[in-house]
């Protein structure tokens, strides 16, 4: 039997949760609903979903707090999270992404957009089949096992950061514009703002730790991954996110 991706919907408004549940089922997913953080954690403990639709405003623990918590846990750290919220301002979007979300959906949203975004994060989570293992400047990435290590020490990356790093490692020393990264890594940039790239690059640098300086900012052009230590100066300075 074909596996239908399991999607955990964490939404406290029953009418919205039911609407999303029906649309996901018709879209070829297996939806599971939780109306608060306690129920959501119970569902996660019972069975891990393929992705989480997480409402920003929840009774008790907020969606932002839950996203931060789940992203830090080994068992749930790699599950794609899509934030659902009525907050459409850029600072709120950045806050959601910084909390660990892989995408951000502003209410009201169309059914087709919601389904497209879910499929997109699931595609980004899937291991790359092109070039199973890549090594650069002490970094080793194995797409088949979804593992990344720096100088022999294993690192933990979210699904989007993993795919971003994989693409950069397969195309080192080149300068990649935000629009080209959206096209090559996200592949669904009709829904995503270029600002999102900056946020994920910032998260990638943080996850890489000592190797984070290998991801250079080329001002006015984009980003580049180098196998050598980047020189000091404005061309290698991190971009504010």
Which pLDDT does position 34 carry in this prediction?
94
pTM: 0.59
Residue 236 has pLDDT above 60, yes or no: no
Residue 224 has pLDDT above 90, yes or no: yes
Whether the CA torsion 146, 152, 157, 162 is positive or negative: it is negative
Q: Which of 125, 153, 170 is the last residue of a domain?
A: 125
Do residues 40 and 116 both lie within one domain? yes
Owner of token pair 């939404």: 11
Domain that holds residue 112: 6-125
Which pair of structure tokens corresponds to residue 93? Answer: 């979007």
Do residues 143 and 52 both lie within one domain? no
Higher pLDDT, 97 or 35: 35
Do residues 148 and 114 both lie within one domain? no
Which domain CATH number covers 51?
Answer: 3.40.50.2300
Q: For the chain, give the mean pLDDT.
A: 83
The rounded distance, in Å, linking the Cα atoms of 13 and 222 is 41
Which pLDDT does position 133 carry in this prediction?
83
160-210 pLDDT, tens per residue?
888 899 999 988 889 999 988 887 887 654 566 788 889 899 999 999 999
């Amino acid at each position: 039997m074909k596996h239908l991706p399991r999607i955990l919907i964490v939404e406290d408004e029953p009418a919205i949760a039911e609407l999303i549940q029906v649309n996901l089922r018709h879209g070829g997913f297996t939806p599971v609903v939780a109306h608060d953080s306690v129920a959501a954690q119970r569902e996660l403990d019972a069975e891990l979903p393929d992705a989480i639709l997480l409402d920003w405003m929840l009774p008790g623990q907020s969606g932002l707090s839950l996203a931060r918590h789940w992203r830090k846990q080994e068992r749930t750290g790699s599950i794609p999270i899509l934030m659902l919220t009525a907050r459409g301002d850029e600072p709120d979007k950045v806050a959601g992404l910084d909390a660990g979300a892989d995408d951000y959906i502003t209410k009201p949203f169309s059914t087709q957009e919601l389904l497209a975004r879910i499929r997109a994060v699931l595609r980004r989570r899937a291991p790359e089949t092109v070039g199973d293992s890549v090594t650069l400047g002490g970094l080793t990435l194995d797409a088949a096992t979804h593992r990344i290590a720096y100088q022999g020490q294993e690192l933990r990356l979210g699904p989007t950061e993993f795919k971003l790093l994989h693409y950069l490692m397969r195309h080192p020393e080149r300068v990649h514009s935000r629009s080209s990264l959206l096209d090559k890594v996200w592949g669904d940039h009709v829904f995503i703002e270029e600002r999102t790239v900056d946020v994920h690059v910032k998260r990638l640098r943080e996850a890489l730790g000592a190797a984070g300086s290998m991801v250079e900012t080329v001002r006015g052009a984009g980003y580049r991954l180098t196998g050598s230590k980047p020189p000091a100066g404005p061309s290698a300075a991190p971009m504010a996110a």
